[in-house]
Amino acid sequence: MMDEEQRALDPEVPEVGPDAPQPAGDGSVPPGDQAQQAGGGEDKAPQPGAGDEPDEKKPGKSKPKQRGSFLRELPVLIVIALALALIIKTYAFQAYFIPSGSMQNTLEIGDKVLVNKIVYHLRPIHRGDVVVFNGQGSWDQGPAPKTPNPFDRLYRAIIGLFGAAPGQTDYIKRVIGIPGDHVRCCTPQGQVTVNGIALSEKSYLYPGNVPSQTPFSIIVPPDRLWVMGDHRAVSDDSRDHIGYPGGGTIPEKMVVGRAFWIVWPPSRWRILNIPSTFEQSALNSSKAAGSQVTGVTGSAALSVPVAPAAPAVPLAAGFVGAIPLTWGQRRLRGRIRRRLARRR
């Protein structure tokens, strides 16, 4: 009994037994309990069951969504491409098919040329340009066409995407004289002159052709052009329409554009440059005074209207332009959705 009292009063002797209070320490965990605490506890994340599969690995989630997104974007891509093709074909570039030999050897039968419709809004028509023009009201009998309204132009452009527009009367020739020029044939050497300056046409005339087999002389009226084919022996051009309104010339406003590139066949790819003879500075040094016109006739002349070719170039350009536009609008819509989601 004495021993029990002495133990109770002695603070240095700790109690031993299951009911003895644990001493206050520094919070350290005995070595035997560290493994148990590291291996378990309430904060441990539950392991997914064998039947639970992560959402990102579940089949039928992302791939169908991507396919559906592409199918939704496809009509938008097609509409944008067609709209761009219409704009390009109506206001920028158009391909034409060459059906006759009146421009040989510069243009062969079956060639397709690309016509620039923008260039003459930026600069005037130059001598030596190969141009496509509408002959209605000048070379083709009948009233001059009225300026088409926007709806009529759109209708013709849409029809033109699938073939030639109705009532097509387009021709292709080379510009020899511009307003005010005195165009005459021929010199003692058989050359055509513009404002008294002889043209050296051997580089583009059909081999064996002479500049003109019959004489003519005309002062080109204001806002009109004198045009001729490169195959002079068979070309039906300004020389053969002197008895028509304008004395065989064509109105500048009826020019569709400048033919600048042979795009088909690939073996004939080349740029249609202006021949150097038209770059003579003396051509602009003087203008004719007075008007003298002598007519010519051409019973075997050729001047078949050129036909717009299949719109492969505008359609291809439309699809090329539509791809980045579609991608851009898709990204823009994605950004808008994310911003709206953040606000919620």
Active centre residues (catalytic): 102, 173
Contact assessment for residue 130 and residue 272, using Cβ atoms and an 8 Å cutoff: yes
Q: Which two tokens stand for residue 255?
A: 């020019």
Partners of 264 in the beta sheet? 112
Q: Which residues contact 68 (CB under 8 A, 6 or more apart)?
A: none
Q: Which two tokens stand for residue 200?
A: 């050296």
**What is the rounded distance in angstroms from the CA atom of residue 79 to the CA atom of residue 81?**
5
Q: Which two tokens stand for residue 333?
A: 């819509």
Phi, psi dihedral angles at 303 (to 5 degrees): -155, 75
Contact assessment for residue 254 and residue 133, using Cβ atoms and an 8 Å cutoff: yes
Return the number of other C-beta atoms located less than 10 Å from residue 109's C-beta: 13
CB-based burial label for 185 (10 Å; 0-12, 13-18, 19+): buried
HSE at residue 213, side-chain half, CA atoms within 13 A, is: 14
Partners of 76 in the beta sheet? none
